[in-house]
Amino acid sequence: MQPITGSGVAKIVDSGNPEFKVGDIVYGTTGWEEYSLITNPQGLFKIQHTDVPLSYYTGILGMPGLTAYAGFYEVCSPKKGEYVFVSAASGAVGQLVGQFAKLMGCYVVGSAGSKEKVDLLKSKFGFDDAFNYKEECDLNAALKRYFPQGIDIYFENVGGKTLDAVLLNMRVRGRIAVCGMISQYNLDPPDGITNLMHIVYGRVRIEGFSVSDYVDQYSKFLDFMLPHIREGKIVYVEDIAEGLESGPFALVGLFSGCNVGKQVVLVARE
């Protein structure tokens, strides 16, 4: 049986491939296991910069980081002073989008599912404001409170009722970058979205995207991120589950929002 795979960091213990030597630290698609046999090294990259936590290469310096970078800078076409809303804002991608938006000079508000996460958004990630969507019985009213002037950019991670409320609050020529719709993946049928007409009224663009279309930007992305991380201008929060055996619980917990920050499973320290 094939093991479940995921985005992992690993040390090469044996290699028949001249590009990867014993002792090299790599990141990419690895198995959920202590030792992985990787026969297709195309999805594997050697880590050059080890002065940051290696787990960052599963997140802020890996595909989630590049997702936030490409999704915000390329898909959202942001401009200084614009109003940005991020859902699942304390997650691996959302926390970065909010920080990119602040670096760009935008006003940014995030939503998350607990007081702890909301506090983190404001105190640690520099969001201008944040709210707990579980405490809002009327999401449209909440968005009108946080964005009386409307939303220019919505970075979509959740879908469903949040998206439907956002559509009522988009400004003319607003953009919605659709990274994911985690609230909908396990719903059958999914929530019906009733406010799409507003994309005509406001000439709004909604665009789904995938990080796989932006891998050629990885080295530019790394050059941008590393100095910001070293200088503390971009911070990152991980939720580390210790031990391979904690993996299944950590995975399932994502769908009910148990994690605070990027969920990482620590298989081994060395």
Choice between 17 and 210, CB closer to its own copies:
210
Contact status: 255 vs its own copies (CB under 8 A): no
* Phi-psi map region of 5: left, alpha, beta (phi>0 left; psi -120 to 50 alpha): beta
255-260 long-range contacts, Cβ below 8 Å, gap at least 24? 255/182, 255/185, 255/186, 257/112, 257/113, 257/114, 257/117, 259/91, 260/90, 260/114, 260/116, 260/117, 260/120
Residue 207 touches its own copies, criterion: CB under 8 A = yes
Instruction: For residue 191, state whether it binds its own copies (rule: CB under 8 A).
Output: yes
The whole-angstrom separation of Cα 120 and Cα 260 is: 9
Asked if residue 206 binds its own copies (CB under 8 A), the reply is yes
Provide DSSP, 60-96: TTSHHHHHHHIIIIIIS---TT-EEEESSTTSTTHHH
Closer to its own copies by Cβ: residue 52 or 199: 199
Nearer to its own copies, 92 or 204 (CB): 204
* Cβ contact 229:56 at 8 Å: yes
Q: Read off the DSSP letter of residue 192.
A: P
Work out whether 192 is an interface residue with its own copies (CB under 8 A). Answer: yes
Tokens coding 244: 């391979």
> What is the footprint of its own copies within residues 211-230 (CB under 8 A)?
213
Q: Is residue 209 part of the contact set for its own copies (CB under 8 A)?
A: yes
Binding mask 150-189 for its own copies (x = CB under 8 A): ---------x---x--------------xxxx--xx---x
Q: How far apart are CA 196 and CA 87, in angstroms?
A: 18
Q: Which of 197, 223, 256, 270 binds its own copies (CB under 8 A)?
A: 197
What minimum distance in Å lies between the beta carbon of 198 and its own copies? 8
CB of 137 to its own copies, least distance (A): 18
202 binds its own copies (CB under 8 A): yes
Q: Binding residue for its own copies (CB under 8 A) from 201, 227, 243, 268?
A: 201
Residue 200 engages its own copies in binding (rule: CB under 8 A): yes
Burial class (CB in 10 A: 0-12, 13-18, 19+), 98: buried
Among 49, 144, 161, 205, binds its own copies (CB under 8 A): 205
Q: CA–CA separation, 268 vs 270, rounded Å?
A: 5
Residues within the interface to its own copies (CB under 8 A): 159, 163, 178-181, 184-185, 189-210, 213
